[in-house]
Amino acid sequence: MSTVPIEIGHPSVQHWAEPGHADHRSFLRKYIFSTDHKVIGCQFLIMSLTFLLIGGLLAMLIRWQLGWPGTAVPGGAILGDAKAPGGIILPEFYNSLVTMHGTIMIFFAIMPLLVGVFGNWLIPLHVGAADMAFPRLNMASFWTALPAGVIMLSSFFVTGGSAAAGWTAYAPLSASPELSGVYMGQKLWCLSLIVLGFSSLMGAVNYITTIVNMRAPGMKWMRLPLPIWALFITAILVLLAIPVLTGALILLLFDQTIGTTFFLPKDGGQPLMWQHLFWYFGHPEVYILILPAMGIASEVISNGSRKPIFGYKFMVYAIVAIAFLGWIVWGHHMFQSGMNPLLGGAFMTSTMIIAVPSAIKVFNWLGTIYRGDIHFHVPMLNALAFVAMFVIGGLSGVFMASTPVDIYIHDTYFIVAHIHYVLFGGSLFAIFAGIYFWYPKFFGRMLNPTLGKIHFALTFVFYNAVFFPMHNLGLDGMMRRIYDPNQYEYLAQYQPMNTFISVSALLLGASQLIFLFNFLWSLRGGKKAPANPWNSNSLEWTLPSPPPHGNFPTMPTVYRGPYEYSVPGREADYWPQSEPPGEPERKAAHREEVHA
Amino acid sequence: MDWGWLMSEPASTFGSKIDSIYYVILVITGVIFVLVEGALIVFLLKYRHREGRRAEYSHGHTKLEAVWTIIPFILVMAIAWMSMDVWLEAKIADGHAPADALPLRVTAKQFEWNVTYPGPDEKLDTPDDFVKRNQLHLPVGRAVRVDLASEDVIHSFFLPVFRVKQDAVPGMVIPVWFEATKAGEYPLGCAELCGLGHYRMRGSVTVHEAAAFDSWVAEEGSAPAAETPAPADTTGGGAEAAEAAAAPGHDHQQPSSEGEGRA
Amino acid sequence: MSHGAAISATHPMEGMKVYNLKLGMWVFLLSEVMFFSSLIGAYIILRFAHPEQWAEPNVVLNVPLTGFNTFMLICSSVTMVKAFAAIEHGDQAGLRKWLIATIILGSAFVSIQVFEYIKLAHEGFVPVAARYAAEGGPLYGSTFYTMTGFHGAHVTIGVLALIFTTIKAFRGKYSATDYGGVEIMGLYWHFVDLVWIILFTIVYLI
């Protein structure tokens, strides 16, 4: 190693903004090509909420077809004759809808919301840094993600339509245009996700470096807020999983363009190899989509209960265990794929074990609210819904982990219910909790709590009305991704249930307009946010809302963990991480030192 | 209409075993569900904020953590252990299928199921083989071994009432076995997205009494060639079939590659 | 790790005592490992499934020529180490000299690879299954070009980055106290070299 005792290349990023120093950056530098992590977080927020809206609209079309098969979507004629002549959705367009709904929601809504938005918003502020380790790389990350999204959306408008082989893009259907009828669309799909992979990679490098290297004095690993632990482990998963997807996508793209046969059985290619590569990425991806949500929920639940998080260390160990085990369970997506059944047995065992750390987390959340002083503010309501729904998603996972039961429910609506209980009931409720919680910090205004509560209540009710009956449809044998279940006599009798789900889905979609309105209206009309509206402990709440460019006026020093709520002997029921210990505490600490 | 959590009556031997594991998991997860969600609701009501309340200052409880690590671990391991037996029986049995199983060949392609029957001699690749499209006929009370293949993309051979599901992968021949326990008409569907006709890639399953099955085979085996689907080059008897059988290794159903067995 | 103590003195952070750029490069290289692992994994799966599509070593591929190329790439790692050692001691002339040597060796590697590609393509060894006309089968061609191609792209990017680093070196941007840019360039370059040694072994020799 080097012998030069100087901070070579050490980022002099820590330009602590001088208080009262005016910000002279141009509009373009401040809001468009900004290197400020807070602005980049907001850019990701706007981008991914837009994609959430688009993905939601695609879901509405899917539900229309399933609720009222073969009838014209109101106003659907604008989709054009190639997709929906006279508003009646064609089977090939239905496959596109299913594929693009999954792809957009996973890669362009939930993932950037959790990783892009909260990663950017929280990491530098929570560790006490002025910005990310590599601010320009951070900016590049957003400006790579956006074109990837544009490429994905553009595929709707090419001849042959967008990708239609499912978000999992199983080869050889995805690799052979003549069998899928999709030409340019599938190629754009691959290209878009390859480009997005670069964006994720830049983000991950930044997050890991920032968390490892730029923690303020006193911010020991075991004093990190749990969202940061979750994002740190998530960044490692992104870093290691995304390149595998990129590799697989490149091979798939070569099969479609230059005429290789990696996944085409014609010349010895292996269709199952796609599934192995895809799920080797795909299962860590599942945890990429839930770990940050768990971190956010932990933060909000501890705050809402005014109580330290129960078993902080176990929460951290559970995150690490999930991330580790997440690499050896990918085969549980492939029990019925033709993979060796003995391997299936092994994957069943590892999958069952991964349920344990998830259970630990749920019990610790219960332990946190137990004997708390629970304030039902809007973030708290959403975080509690996250716990309640994640329990259902976790328990339904056990059915599919059991290989024999999976024989029956694999590829049915049971899995559709399961994934939505985890990704909507889980991730999305935590995202809502996070947005309600940190919106004031980054936009300087409070979201309207009454509208927030109405939005929460309607979303919670309609969400369950949509997805809970899907378990039953799955148990009744309804396959996923079918355009018209009435083709099957034994499924035709469930049309009323499908219609019920579709009505609920439309209402669920409509309820989100309340959120949209609240979000936009509060930007100007919301109550001015104080520095610390939730009486919370982590470092960002010591700063004005929104924090200035460069964040902290002076380097903060951290004295304690982030969940010191209701400490006996203190009048306030919270204790900011950077508040120097008072005289009694200092004496106590001194006594301990002497005794040690 | 079934809004409940009961499974439809199974019609295969391991179907009821699969269902019983399902019910065991349903009870275990059901109890956990009620306990956890119940505790959540009780805590929320009991510890809601009121004037003067202050939360207990506690960072956790290591013994409790150990308890709720070990109990779920034991439960899931028990489920895995129970599942393993049935899984191995359903997927592997004695070398993929019971020895006396009736051999069939099902070849999927967009968007149909071609079933090759062995004919009266109960051997595939003999002159008396015949092919039916989207019609699976079986005897009751006898194990059936299906060699599952695909000509184009991945399909999934789904017999809900028999609790059978297996992907058909081009380039591979995957054995599937089951034994029907009740005569009747049942559905056959495709469970893996396979293209624009995926939703209508369905067939019917007819389970005959043993004697009725034999007479059905005899009748179909001697039916004119026109009965069989166009792409098939093995027909119900006749010169063409003899020719096909005479060419060793020739089989219109076999995929081009030699991916016998499993990956 | 002696400079670590200095960092924690001047920058009282709880960091890993490795400066950001270097840590960032290490982290990035981990993801590169996973990328090449996915390609190598696919190669292994395909080769095990269809060993008959692969020809014996040195039948289709020119092992002596590529062996020489491998030797050059290893030499370029040595010159890169020399460049780094030079700037550690503030030797600006040495830094420039060894960086240029690394660029020459890296460019020669890419050139020989391109030459090899052209020659192989003429012999019918192509990635396109339908036009494959060499010994073995199409999977041989497509995996070969994919793996060596992505490696070659990494070398090319490396050479471009080296040129950039050299320009900065000529402008005197590095010194005995500020050589982070040279060090991370070296990390990347050694990584690319290491990947090649693995690829050369499994693609050419086995």
A264 φ/ψ sector (left φ>0, alpha ψ -120 to 50, else beta): beta
What is the C-alpha separation between C80 and C99, in angstroms, rounded?
6
Interface touch B56/A566, C-beta < 8 Å: yes
User: In which residue are the tokens 């949209």 written?
Assistant: A516
What is the C-alpha separation between B132 and B148, in angstroms, rounded?
15
Residues A278-293: pLDDT tens digits?
Answer: 999 999 999 999 999 9
**What pLDDT does residue A72 have?**
95
| Two structure tokens written together for A98 | 């299913």
A40 φ/ψ sector (left φ>0, alpha ψ -120 to 50, else beta): alpha
Beta strands per DSSP E along A124-240: none
What is the enclosing helix (H) or strand (E) of A207? Answer: helix A184-213
**What pLDDT does residue B98 have?**
82
Instruction: Classify the C-alpha dihedral A213-A215-A218-A224 as positive or negative.
Output: negative
**Residues of chain A where predicted confidence (pLDDT) is lower than 50:** 1-20, 596
What is the enclosing helix (H) or strand (E) of A516? Answer: helix A495-525
Secondary structure class of C110 (helix, strand, coil): helix
Whether B250 and chain A come into contact, CB under 8 Å, resolves to: no
The alpha carbon of B73 is separated from its chain's Cα centroid by a whole number of angstroms, namely 29
Contacts of A268 in chain C (CB under 8 A): 46, 49-50, 53, 137-139
- Do the beta carbons of residue A390 and residue A422 sit within 8 Å? yes
Contacts of B190 in chain A (CB under 8 A): 479
CA distances from A175 to A72, A146, B204 (A): 32, 26, 30
What is the enclosing helix (H) or strand (E) of A421? Answer: helix A413-422
Neighbors of chain B by Cβ distance (3+ pairs < 8 Å):
A
Q: How far is A595 from chain B (nearest CA, A)?
A: 23
Q: How far is A213 from chain C (nearest CA, A)?
A: 4
Contacts of A273 in chain C (CB under 8 A): 42, 45-46
**What pLDDT does residue B6 have?**
86
To probe the interface with A, which of B6, B75, B152, B154 has the most A CB atoms within 10 Å?
A: B154
| Two structure tokens written together for A270 | 């292996």
| Residue B234, pLDDT above cutoff 50 | no
Decide the pairing of beta strands B203-208 and B184-190: antiparallel
Phi, psi of A7 (to 5 degrees): -80, 65
| Residue B258, pLDDT above cutoff 80 | no
Q: Chains A, C: CB contacts under 8 A, how many? A: 184
Whether C183 and chain A come into contact, CB under 8 Å, resolves to: yes
- Do the beta carbons of residue B141 and residue B181 sit within 8 Å? yes
Q: Which residues contact B99 (CB under 8 A, 6 or more apart)?
A: none
Q: What is the DSSP letter of A412?
A: B
Mean pLDDT rounded to a whole number for chain C: 91
b vs e for A459-477, b when ≥16 Cβ sit within 10 Å of the residue's Cβ?
Answer: bbebbbbbbbbbbbbbbbb
Whether B233 and chain A come into contact, CB under 8 Å, resolves to: no
**What pLDDT does residue A30 have?**
83
Interface touch B18/A408, C-beta < 8 Å: yes
Contacts of B96 in chain A (CB under 8 A): none
| Residue C13, pLDDT above cutoff 90 | no
Phi, psi of B205 (to 5 degrees): -115, 130
Interface touch B198/A345, C-beta < 8 Å: no
Q: How far is C126 from chain A (nearest CA, A)?
A: 9
Determine the average pLDDT of the residues in C33-45: 96
Interface touch A308/B202, C-beta < 8 Å: no
Contacts of C146 in chain A (CB under 8 A): 250-251, 254, 260
Nearest Cβ partner for A266 among B8, B76, B256: B256
To probe the interface with B, which of A363, A468, A471 has the most B CB atoms within 10 Å?
A: A363
Give pTM, 2 decimals: 0.91
pLDDT band at C50 (very low <50, low <70, confident <90, very high): very high
| Two structure tokens written together for A369 | 């609210």
Length of chain B: 263
Nearest Cβ partner for A496 among B1, B110, B174: B1
User: In which residue are the tokens 């993309």 written?
Assistant: B153
Give alpha helix (H) positions in A104-159: 111, 119-127, 135-154
Q: Which of residues 162-181 of C touch A (CB under 8 A)?
A: 176-181
Q: Which residues contact A570 (CB under 8 A, 6 or more apart)?
A: none
Contacts of A205 in chain C (CB under 8 A): 24, 27-28, 31
Q: DSSP assignment of A46-75, as one string?
A: HHHHHHHHHHHHHHHHHHHHHHSTTSPPTT
Hey, how many other C-beta atoms are within 10 angstroms of the C-beta on A341? Answer: 17
Interface touch A1/C2, C-beta < 8 Å: yes
Phi, psi of A369 (to 5 degrees): -80, -20
- A318 burial level (CB within 10 Å; 0-12, 13-18, 19+): buried
Q: From B98, B107, B122, B84, select the one nearest B12 (Cα to Cα).
A: B98
Nearest Cβ partner for B165 among A336, A356, A388: A336
Nearest Cβ partner for A217 among C13, C28, C34: C13
Interface touch A407/B164, C-beta < 8 Å: yes
Q: Give percent helix, percent strand, percent coil of chain A, each to the nearest 5.
A: 70, 0, 30
Q: Which of residues 152-171 of B touch A (CB under 8 A)?
A: 152-154, 156, 158, 160, 163-167, 169-171
Q: Chains A, B: CB contacts under 8 A, how many? A: 305
Interface touch C3/A6, C-beta < 8 Å: yes
Of the ranges A164-168, B2-6, B258-262, the best mean pLDDT one:
A164-168
What is the C-alpha separation between A248 and A549, in angstroms, rounded?
40
Hey, how many other C-beta atoms are within 10 angstroms of the C-beta on B119? Answer: 21
Q: DSSP assignment of A564-588, as one string?
A: --S-TT-SSS---TTSPP-HHHHHH
Contacts of C35 in chain A (CB under 8 A): 243-244, 246-247
In single-letter form, the type of residue at position C88 comes to E
Determine the average pLDDT of the residues in B130-154: 95
Whether C115 and chain A come into contact, CB under 8 Å, resolves to: no
Nearest Cβ partner for A356 among B47, B55, B72: B72
Contacts of A407 in chain B (CB under 8 A): 18, 90, 163-165
Residues C105-154: pLDDT tens digits?
Answer: 999 999 999 999 999 999 999 999 999 999 999 999 999 999 999 999 99
pLDDT band at B84 (very low <50, low <70, confident <90, very high): very high
Interface touch A398/B76, C-beta < 8 Å: yes
- Sheet of B155-159, strands arranged across: B135-139, B203-208, B184-190, B155-159, B164-168
To probe the interface with C, which of A132, A260, A266, A270 has the most C CB atoms within 10 Å?
A: A260
Interface touch C42/A3, C-beta < 8 Å: no
Interface touch C35/A244, C-beta < 8 Å: yes
Hey, how many other C-beta atoms are within 10 angstroms of the C-beta on A426? Answer: 27
Hey, how many other C-beta atoms are within 10 angstroms of the C-beta on A83? Answer: 21
In single-letter form, the type of residue at position A111 comes to M
- Do the beta carbons of residue C39 and residue C146 sit within 8 Å? yes
Interface touch A213/C49, C-beta < 8 Å: no
The residue in chain C having the minimum alpha-carbon distance to the alpha carbon of residue A133 is: C20
**What pLDDT does residue B241 have?**
38
| Residue B89, pLDDT above cutoff 90 | no
Q: DSSP assignment of chain B, as one string?
A: ---SSPPPPP-BHHHHHHHHHHHHHHHHHHHHHHHHHHHHHHHHHHTB--TT---------HHHHHHHHHHHHHHHHHHHHHHHHHHHHHHTTTTTS-TTPEEEEEEEETTEEEEEE-TTTT-SSSTT-EEEESEEEEETTSEEEEEEEESSS-EEEEEGGGTEEEEE-BT-BEEEEEEB-S-EEEEEEE-S--STTGGG--EEEEEEPHHHHHHHHHHHHTS-GGGS-TT----SSHHHHHHHHHSTT--TTS-SS--BS--
Q: From A123, A142, A134, A139, select the one nearest A206 (Cα to Cα).
A: A134
What is the C-alpha separation between B157 and B168, in angstroms, rounded?
7
Q: How far is A206 from chain C (nearest CA, A)?
A: 7
Interface touch A268/C46, C-beta < 8 Å: yes
Interface touch A259/C24, C-beta < 8 Å: no
Q: Which of residues 192-231 of B touch A (CB under 8 A)?
A: 192-200, 202
